[in-house]
Amino acid sequence: MSDIIVPPAMSARPSTSGGAPRTTAAGPAGQPIPGLPTIPVLDTGPGFALDTLDADPARAHRLLDAPTKYVPKQALKALDSVSRQWLVKWDNAYLPEIDAIAARLDRPGVHFLSVMYEWACTCAVKPSPDGDSARLVRVLDWLTPGLGREVVAARVAGPSGLYVALTWPGFSGVIQAMAPGRFSAALNQAPMRFAVGLSPLDWVLARRRLWRTPHPMAAHILRRAFEDCATYAEAKRFLETQPIALPAIYSLAGIEPHETCVIERTETAARVFDGEAVAANHWQPDDAGVTEWRGHERGLDSRGRARLMPSLPADLTTDFSWAQYPVMNPKTRLLMVADAKAGRLVAVGCERSGLATQPLELAV
């Protein structure tokens, strides 16, 4: 196993047209950029959330500091209590692990943030440029600062084989990962379901619905896919059929160039888009041009991000110049390209100010 660090340069410059900032990431190979940390590569057992926490507890505390800085401690304790009650109520398989993480960190907010589901993402699944394999192009957007700077690469020795998750110490789910010789996958937040048509009220009603939903979080289901599924076909069937607590969108790329799909999910229903496909934070129209489900789009310009993704390359290089606005924007925290057949991924952490880590090139 080897990991090679090659840096790009990143810039955020005003648009000459006076519109939104044209945030881009670029990167010819060169020397490491002074002052930027590397992405740690950690070998772990199946319990990677605890293993990564034990390896770097300071990183986990820094991650908790940002979203909880202005929240009173008593409010965090109340949110933890409600979140843990939900996990207990529905016998969540990862509750013992989350309890152990909370005990080790010894601060409020762990249970609440373990079930929080407030990010936006853009993905594409497509053949490699040479047509030999399938690749996943992944952009993670999240409002919370620090997620790009503090990301780690966990090489997890799972029951069905090794997989590499780009994750954070003490986080029990999987948001994006690559399993060499099996598949790569990522999770996007789905649109907020229309209930009364007003976003704040629909958000509250979604949380009330969640309390009555007995299913696991989508990030835990994606973790189980990497733990239990030996092939692309198994993972596809698993992600199509396993009930989830809130709607979600999975992007999946296998080994062969035709093994790509996007799976849109409600709690118990699925729509599958086979072949070269993209995912952002809105429901896509089907072949007849009909959007079966309705909801509030998430993130910045979801449809604009989706329109740009098909034209982006799936190169396994640390030249991230393909990441242009609005795919790359001030909320972007991670860029990744993964190829499970080659057992390789490239990634870089980002923050609002631009590049936050040295780019990582990892061959497994």
Output the pLDDT for position 210. 66
Residue 44 has pLDDT above 80, yes or no: yes
65 lies in some domain: no
Distance CA 200, CA 158 (A): 40
Output the pLDDT for position 9. 35
Output the pLDDT for position 280. 95
Q: How many domains does the chain have?
A: 1
Residue that has been written with the tokens 């993130």 in this structure: 299
Two structure tokens written together for 56: 């770097």
Output the pLDDT for position 200. 54
Output the pLDDT for position 355. 84
Output the pLDDT for position 2. 38
66 lies in some domain: no
Output the pLDDT for position 19. 41
pLDDT tens sequence across 206-226: 656 666 778 899 999 999 999
334 closest CA partner among 234, 202, 186, 155: 186
33 lies in some domain: yes
309 lies in some domain: yes
Residue 34 has pLDDT above 80, yes or no: no
Output the pLDDT for position 31. 52
**pLDDT confidence bin for 321, thresholds 50/70/90:** confident
Distance CA 249, CA 38 (A): 30
154 lies in some domain: yes
Residue 87 has pLDDT above 50, yes or no: yes
Residue 232 has pLDDT above 50, yes or no: yes
Residue 281 has pLDDT above 80, yes or no: yes
Output the pLDDT for position 66. 84
Count of beta carbons in the 10 Å neighbourhood of residue 129? 12
More confident residue, 107 or 200: 107
Residue 59 has pLDDT above 50, yes or no: yes
80 lies in some domain: no
Output the pLDDT for position 193. 63
Percent of the chain with pLDDT over 70: 83
Residue 91 has pLDDT above 60, yes or no: yes
Domain residue limits at 282: 2-49+118-363
pLDDT tens sequence across 113-160: 888 766 678 999 999 999 999 999 999 999 889 999 999 999 999 999
More confident residue, 85 or 239: 239
- Asked if 246 and 117 count as a contact pair (C-beta separation under 8 A), the reply is yes
**pLDDT confidence bin for 20, thresholds 50/70/90:** very low
106 lies in some domain: no
The CATH number assigned to the domain holding 143 equals: 3.60.60.10
329 lies in some domain: yes
Q: Work out the average pLDDT over 265-279.
A: 95
pLDDT mean across residues, the chain: 86
Q: Work out the average pLDDT over 59-86.
A: 90
More confident residue, 205 or 78: 78
